[in-house]
Amino acid sequence: MRISSTVALIASLAVATTTFSSPIVKRIVGGEPVKPGELPFAAKFTFRYGRCTGSLIGPQTILTVAGVVFERDDTTRVLHPQYAGHANDIGLVFLPKKLPGPYPQIGGDYPQPDSMITAAGFGDVDNNGTETNVLRKVELIVEDKAVCLAHYPTFISDTQFCTKDTPQSVCVGDSGGPLFVGKNDTIKIVGITNHGASADSCGLKGNYQYYAFVQPYMQWIKEEIARFENNGTASTPKDS
C-alpha cells in the first residue's frame, strides 16, 4: 500500500512522525541520554495515544514492530505475514524520501545468557509516565531461554529472547527500538523491543522484557526492501 509520509529530522536523530488510532506500549527506565550523533539511525514515531521507536536501516527503511505498521497511517508499510499477538512482531516502514546514513548493520548471533546488550528508545524515563524527547539507552543482561519461557509460556525460543528483571529496563515508548551490540561503526542490531512489563512496573522485580531476534527475518526484510526499491510498493499489510 503506498501513501504519503511526513518525516522530520530532530538534532542528529531520524524521526518519523505520523498518527495512529490506538496505543503502542513499552520505555527506558534507569538508562542514560544518548550523545548527539551516537545513534543517528534511531527513529521516533508519534501516535495519537503515545510513542514508539524504530531504526533507520537504509535510506528509506525503518525497522520496527508489527504493531506500528498494523495501524492505519500515512506511510508505505509492511508487517510480517505471520504476525499474531507477540509472535513475529516485526515490521518495516518505508519513507518517501531518502535520509542519509550511516546505517547500522542488522542481524547477528542469538544473544547468549548473561551477555550484555544495549537497548535504545524514546520511551518514558520512570513508572510515573514521565515523557522525554531525548533518545536514551540502557545496558541489559540477556536471560536464559528456560527462564524466559517460565515467565511467558508462549515464548518462541528461535525468534525471541528476553532480558533479566534488573532495575534497568525498556518500557512505554521503547517498543520497536533496537537492541544492539558494538558501538560506532561496529553497531549491529540483534533485536527489537516487543513486549513485557505493564506501564507502571518496568524495572520492578519479577518483570521480564521480550524482544524479537532479527536474524531469522533477514530474508524477508531483504525481499521487502527490494520490492519497495523496484516498485515503490510493499506487501499489503494483513487486515488493512
Instruction: Give the tens place of pLDDT for each residue, 117-159.
Output: 999 998 766 666 666 678 999 999 999 999 999 999 999 999 9
* Structure-block grid coordinates of residue 148: 524466559
Its pTM stands at: 0.83
Please tell me the predicted confidence (pLDDT) of residue 191: 97
Cβ pair 176, 93 in contact under 8 A? no
Taking only Cα atoms into account, the Rg of the chain, rounded to an integer number of angstroms, comes to 16
Please tell me the predicted confidence (pLDDT) of residue 218: 96
pLDDT digits (tens, 9 = 90+) for 149-208: 999 999 999 999 999 988 888 877 888 999 999 988 899 999 999 986 555 667 677 778
CA angle (4, 124, 12) in 5-degree steps: 55
Please list the residues that pair with 138 across neighbouring strands: 119
Query: What letter does residue 184 receive in the DSSP assignment?
Result: G
Cβ pair 132, 121 in contact under 8 A? no
Query: What letter does residue 144 receive in the DSSP assignment?
Result: P
Task: Tell me: pLDDT of 26 over 80.
Answer: no
Q: Is 108 exposed, middle or buried (0-12, 13-18, 19+ CB in 10 A)?
A: middle
Which percentage of the chain shows pLDDT scores above 90? 45
CB hemisphere CA count around 53 (13 angstroms): 36
Please tell me the predicted confidence (pLDDT) of residue 174: 87
Please tell me the predicted confidence (pLDDT) of residue 7: 31
DSSP, collapsed to helix, strand or coil, labels residue 157 as coil
